[in-house]
Amino acid sequence: MTAADAQRAIQAVWRIEQARLVASLARMVRDVGLAEELAQDALVAALERWPEDGIPEKPGAWLMATAKRRAIDLIRRKRLHASKEAELGREIEAAQPSQSEAIEAALDDDIGDDRLGLLFAACHPVLATEARVALTLRLLGGLTTEEIGRAFLTPATTVAQRIVRAKRGLAEARVPFEVPRGAERAARLSSVLEVLYLIFNEGYAATSGERWMRPELSEEALRLARILVGLAGEEPEVHGLVALMEIQASRFAARSGPDGAPILLPDQDRGRWDRLLIRRGLAALARAEAAGAARGEAPGPYALQAAIAACHARTASPAATDWPHIAKLYDALAERAPSPVVELNRGVAHAFAFGPAAGLALVDALNEEPSLRDYHLLPAVRGDLLVRLGRHDEARGEFERAAALTRNQRERDLLLARAATVRSGGS
C-alpha cells in the first residue's frame, strides 16, 4: 500500500469512527474538549503507524484502544483519580486485539449508546440553540468549523467560538454524557429532535446565501435521526421526524432547475421524486402511528407534519391532492403545537381546501404578529392568495415586500419574477 493509499484509507476510517470515538471518550473523561484531543492523538498515531504497519483488521478498535491508552497516560500525568485509572486500565487491557475478539467486535459496532449520549449532551437545553446546532454538526457530523460556517453563512471564527463556549457550558453544568432517564429523557428528547429538525430545514430551504438548498445538511440531519431511531425506537416522535425528513428529502431532485432556480411544489415533476425515500418515509410514519397508538397518544407535531407530507407523496398530481384532509391535519397541528408559522401554513391549506378568501382570512389575522414582522413568507403567501382573488396590484406589492425581506438570493429572484409577472387585472 502506497503512502497516498494509506492516507486515504485513514481519512475514510476517521470519518466513520470519529463520532463514536469522541462519544466513548467523553463518557469516560467527562470533558468533550479533552475527548476530542484524545481522539485526535489516536488519529496522529494512525497516520504515523499505519503507512508502515498496514491498516489493522479492525481499525476502529485500534483507534479506540490507542485513544484510551492516551487517556490513561494523561490521567497519570495529572495524578487524577486512582480509581478511574484502574478502571480505564482494565478496559484497555480487555480491549487488546490479541486478547479479546468479543470486545473488539463490540468496539467496531457502528451504533452504540455512547453516541446517543453525546447527542443528548450536545443538544442540552443549557446551551443556546445555535450552539447546539454547531456542536452537534461538529461532534457527530464530523464537519469542520469552516464547513459549518459555509453552511450557515457564518464566519468560521464565530462557529469556533460557539463550539468553545458550548463545551465550556457543558463542563460547567456538569452535563453527563449519557442518555437521561424518565421524565428528563422525554424533556431532553424534544431538544434533540428540534436541533435535527433545524439542521434539516436549513438544508431544505436555506435562509440566506445564493443557494436555494443545501442538501448535504439535510442528509446529515437524516443520518443522525436514523441513528437515533436505532437507539430510541420506542419514541413515536423519533419515527415521526424521520418520516418527515425521508419524505421531504425525496423531493430534492425536483426542487430546482438546471440553473439552480427554485421549483415550488405545484410545479415540480413528481416523477423525479425519490420513490425509495418515500417508501421509507411512509414506513417510518406507520411506525410512529403504531408506537403512539400503543401508548394511547395522539400523533405528535412531527408525525402530523409527516402525515401532511405523506398526503403529497401519495398523490400523482397537484390537482388530485386531498386538501381538505391536509387542512384537517393542520388544524390538529395548530392545536398540538400552536405557532404563527403553523397558522400561516394552515392558512395556505385552508385556501386550497375551501377557497382563497378562507385562507386569506386566516393569514390576515397574522399581520400584527410581532414574530412574523420580518418573515418573508407572510407577504409571499398573501401575494399568492391575492393573485387568486384577482387583487393583482396588492399582490405585486406583497411579492416585492417579500423579496426585500428574504436573505436568500434564489428566493429573492423568484419573488421579484412573480412581482414582474403580476399585472393589474391579470397575472
To the nearest 10 degrees (0 to 180), the angle between helices 301-313 and 323-336 is 170
Q: Using one digit for the tens of pLDDT, what is the confidence trace for 333-343?
A: 999 999 999 99
Radius of gyration of the chain (CA): 25
pLDDT bucket at 69, cuts 50 / 70 / 90: confident
Please indicate, yes or no, whether the overall pTM of this predicted structure exceeds 0.95. Answer: no
pLDDT reported for residue 98: 40
Q: Is the pLDDT of residue 390 over 90?
A: yes
pLDDT reported for residue 427: 54
Q: Is the pLDDT of residue 154 over 80?
A: yes
- Specify the higher pLDDT residue, 420 or 19: 420
Stated length of the chain: 427
Question: In terms of C-beta density within 10 A (0-12 exposed, 13-18 middle, 19 or more buried), how is residue 150 classed?
Answer: middle
Range 314-321 average pLDDT:
94
Q: Using one digit for the tens of pLDDT, what is the confidence trace for 113-134?
A: 577 788 889 989 899 999 999 9
pLDDT reported for residue 339: 94
In a 13 Å sphere around the CA of 233, the CA atoms on its Cβ side amount to 8
Average pLDDT over all residues of the chain: 86
pLDDT reported for residue 96: 45
pLDDT reported for residue 105: 34
**Range of lowest pLDDT (16-20, 318-322, 387-391):** 16-20
Could you give the CA distance from residue 130 to residue 200 in angstroms, rounded to a whole number?
14
Question: In terms of C-beta density within 10 A (0-12 exposed, 13-18 middle, 19 or more buried), how is residue 420 classed?
Answer: exposed
Q: Is the pLDDT of residue 87 over 70?
A: no
Question: In terms of C-beta density within 10 A (0-12 exposed, 13-18 middle, 19 or more buried), how is residue 182 classed?
Answer: exposed
Highest mean pLDDT among 79-83, 138-142, 165-169: 165-169
Could you give the CA distance from residue 14 to residue 8 in angstroms, rounded to a whole number?
10
Q: Using one digit for the tens of pLDDT, what is the confidence trace for 235-275?
A: 999 999 999 999 999 999 999 999 889 999 999 999 999 99
Could you tell me the residue ranges of all domains in the chain?
A: 3-109, 374-427
Range 277-291 average pLDDT:
97
Helix (H, G, I), strand (E, B) or coil at 111: coil
